[in-house]
Amino acid sequence: MADKTAPRRADQRRARTRASLVCAAQRLLAEGRTDVAVLEITELADVGVGSFYNHFDTKEDLFRAAVEDALEWFGGLMDQLTADIDDPAVAYAQSFRMTGRLHRRYPQLSRVLLNHGLEVAYSDRGLAPRALRDIRTAAAAGRFEVEDLDLALAMTVGAQLALGSLLHAQPDRDDAKSSDLVVRGLLRHFGMSADEAARICSLDLPDLDMVDAAVR
């Protein structure tokens, strides 16, 4: 009988190598250092140079994958945290509130996203398409008053990026209070009453400690 464990182990090693390269690239992106040699990337990832080319043709391919992985990681976490919410307005607000808190919890990934704002805004992966989904659904349900979906999304992404930048610039700022204040203003802009916006922003949020192991 053929040993099926060898191919499985090889796939696992390949996945670990790719993950190490992506993690190294995300660290460099967070530091704003992309003009580096492949050797420096592989040393940071603790893998051989040959392993790099088993996964990526160029540094640009790796950095693109690193941004996409960061986007999808954040988006996947938001999916998990809002899966049981029926009200799209609450789902929208909760995603924003949680993402605001994640800037402090995962500063390296946060800086990757902040350093690639336009890619975040127009990507078909990660936070933007999920925010657009929630805005569209909330508008269709009569929870939001939105004339232009694209502008509503641009305001949401812009506010989140500006919030993240401010939180990094002001490490003593209360990330939870700031996130809630920003999304409360967005809810008001989308036609929600002050009382309803305040109520939504006072709802309990999931405990991130309980989902870290499942998502990461």
Q: Tell the burial category of 1 from Cβ atoms under 10 Å away from its Cβ (0-12, 13-18, 19+).
A: exposed
**Mean pLDDT of the residues in the chain:** 86
**Model pTM score:** 0.78
pLDDT of 214 > 80? The answer is no
- Confidence label for 181 from pLDDT (cuts 50, 70 and 90): very high
Distance of CA 57 to the CA centre of its chain: 25
Q: In the numeric block, which tokens belong to residue 215?
A: 């998502």
Which of the pair, 12 or 159, is modelled with greater confidence? 159
Q: What is the pLDDT of residues 47-62, one digit of tens each?
A: 888 888 989 988 888 8
Residue 160 parent element (H or E): helix 149-169
Say which amino acid occupies 120: V
What pLDDT does 215 receive? 46
Give the largest CA-CA distance in the chain.
Answer: 68
Place of tokens 């049981």: 84
C-beta separation of 144 from 135 below 8 A: yes
CA atoms within 13 A on the CB side of 121: 18
Mean pLDDT calculated for residue range 28-39:
84
What pLDDT does 51 receive? 86
What pLDDT does 7 receive? 66
Structural domains in the chain, CATH included, are 1-56 (1.10.10), 64-215 (1.10.357.10)
Q: What is the pLDDT of residues 87-143, one digit of tens each?
A: 999 999 999 998 899 888 888 888 888 887 777 677 777 788 889 999 999 999 999
State the helix-helix crossing angle for 194-201 and 88-105, rounded to 10 degrees: 50
Distance between CA atoms of 176 and 158, rounded to whole angstroms?
18
Which of the pair, 209 or 34, is modelled with greater confidence? 34
What pLDDT does 110 receive? 84
Q: In the numeric block, which tokens belong to residue 64?
A: 């693109």
